[in-house]
Amino acid sequence: QKFQLVPGNLHDSHSTHVKSNPMPIYSQAVAMAEHFKAASSCPICLDYLENPMHLICGYICCLRCMNSLRKGPDGKGVLCPFCPVVSQKNDIRPAAQLGALVSKIKELEPKLRAALQMNPRMRKFQVDMTLDVDTANNYLIISEDLRRVRCGNFRQNRKEQAERFDSALCVLGVPRFTSGRHYWEVNVGTSKVWDVGVCKESVNRQGNVVLSSELGFWTVGLREGQIYFASTKPLTGLWVSPGLHRVGIYLDITTRVISFYNVGDRSHIFTFTKISATEPLRPCFAHADTSRDDHGYLSVCVINNSIASSPIYPGQGNYTLEHRKHPQ
Ligand SMILES: [Zn+2]
Ligand SMILES: [Zn+2]
């Protein structure tokens, strides 16, 4: 019944953030934008609400989407898709104030999109990340430098232990995070089935694993090479700008936010707010693409740090970039 809660949520969570949490402006803007987006979209067409109407129970959708609602049992009125209440014609009223707000949000969207773009300063918080083989499912092949993973067709011969995902095609990363801000990038190549993000150190690793924020996983992923989603409950389908090959992940434990970006065009993909900060968080990777595509793997990127990097000589720059794009 998300639709009925949205306006309330918008108000409550915003005001508690402001009062109790001195969020930096950026994270606050991202969180607010997510709330606005959720509050202004139609549960039927998933687009911005157009001429929003509300039923007697509080359900809201576009005027044109009302036609797709089922009729009441006696053929009169319309049945709410989320509760058993039937609204008669006279009960259905325009949500004029919400309509005005949505048009305003729609108008501001391009600016919002620009404001949500990846901030290059995030790269200051980059971490040197490797994969933790002791947690890797035995069907995952991990490269020798511990930066690359792909799903194989044969079981790897590794010892069985409690930290290992015994059934789910997952592997965790090192380091673990307990405080502060962190940034890393994951090359997803041409993989068609993957998930990246963070999870609680204590997540269940035996048997089936459900990627859900409720169970301690904050991830975005791809299925069948075309469906992107975030591990909210229920899942949130994502619109991702075309050509996503590298995901930028910014974790801020202080404000309990994790954001995902398309590094290619710096666009924002998704932000989870109110993530858990009660125990260490681990970078988390899942790969279930068994196609033999040479670029069908995940790899944690070694990012060029302007402070720590060695000088680049003329002609060397291109080589370095190529080398990173296609690590051996
Ligand atoms: Zn609609
Ligand atoms: Zn209802």
Chain segment 21-33, per-residue pLDDT in tens: 334 556 566 667 7
Gap from CA of 89 to ligand 2 centroid (Å): 15
List CB-based neighbours of ion ligand 1 within 5 Å. 42, 44-45, 62, 65
Which token pair is 181?
């801000």
User: Does residue 112 or residue 233 have the better pLDDT?
Assistant: 233
Q: How far is the CA of 55 from the centre of ligand 2 (A)?
A: 7
Ligand nearest to the CA of 1: 2
> Residue 55 has what pLDDT?
95
**Pairwise CA distance, residues 149 & 194, whole Å:** 11
Which residue type occupies 73? Answer: P
- Å from CA of 19 to ligand 2 middle: 32
Q: What angle do CA 17, 18, 19 make, to 5 degrees?
A: 95
Q: What is the pTM of this model?
A: 0.69
pLDDT at 102 over 60: yes
- What residues does the ion ligand 2 have nearby, CB within 5 Å? 57, 59, 80, 82-83, 85
The rounded Å distance from CA 4 to ligand 2 centre is 8
How many angstroms does the Cα of residue 39 sit away from the middle of ligand 1? Answer: 13
pLDDT, tens only, 139-178: 999 999 999 999 998 899 999 999 999 999 999 999 999 9
Is the backbone peptide bond immediately before 81 cis, with ω within 30 degrees of 0?
no
CA–CA gap between residue 321 and residue 109 (Å, rounded):
34
**How many angstroms does the Cα of residue 70 sit away from the middle of ligand 1?**
15
Report how far residue 254's alpha carbon sits from residue 232's, in angstroms, rounded to the nearest whole number: 21
44 CA to centre of ligand 1 in angstroms: 5
**Ligand minimally distant from the alpha carbon of residue 55:** 2
**Contact criterion met (CB below 8 Å) for 51 and 59:** no
Angle at 322 between CA 321 and CA 327, to 5 degrees: 105
Q: Specify whether the CB–CB gap between 78 and 71 falls below 8 A.
A: yes
What is the b/e burial string over 151-163, where b = at least 16 CB atoms within 10 angstroms of the residue's CB?
Answer: beeeeeeeeeeee
What's the CA gap between 312 and 316, in Å, rounded? Answer: 6
Q: What is the residue type of 111?
A: K
